[in-house]
Amino acid sequence: MHNSQTVEETAVTADEISDQAGQKNSPTPESAKEPATIDSEQILQGEQEILISHEGALYRLRRTRSGKLILHK
> Rounded to whole angstroms, how far apart are CA atoms 35 and 38?
10
| Residue 59 within any structural domain of the chain | yes
Judged by DSSP in three states, 15 sits in: helix
Domain encompassing residue 65: 7-72
Write the pLDDT tens digit of every residue in 7-23.
Answer: 344 445 555 554 555 55
Question: CATH number for the domain including 14?
Answer: 2.10.70.10
| Residue 44 within any structural domain of the chain | yes
pLDDT at 50 over 50: yes
| Residue 57 within any structural domain of the chain | yes
Give the count of domains, the chain. Answer: 1
Question: How confident is the model over 47-71, as a mean pLDDT?
Answer: 97
Regarding pTM above 0.85, the answer is: no
| Residue 40 within any structural domain of the chain | yes
| Residue 55 within any structural domain of the chain | yes
Judged by DSSP in three states, 64 sits in: coil
| Residue 1 within any structural domain of the chain | no
Chain centroid, CA 47 distance in Å: 28
pLDDT at 4 over 50: no
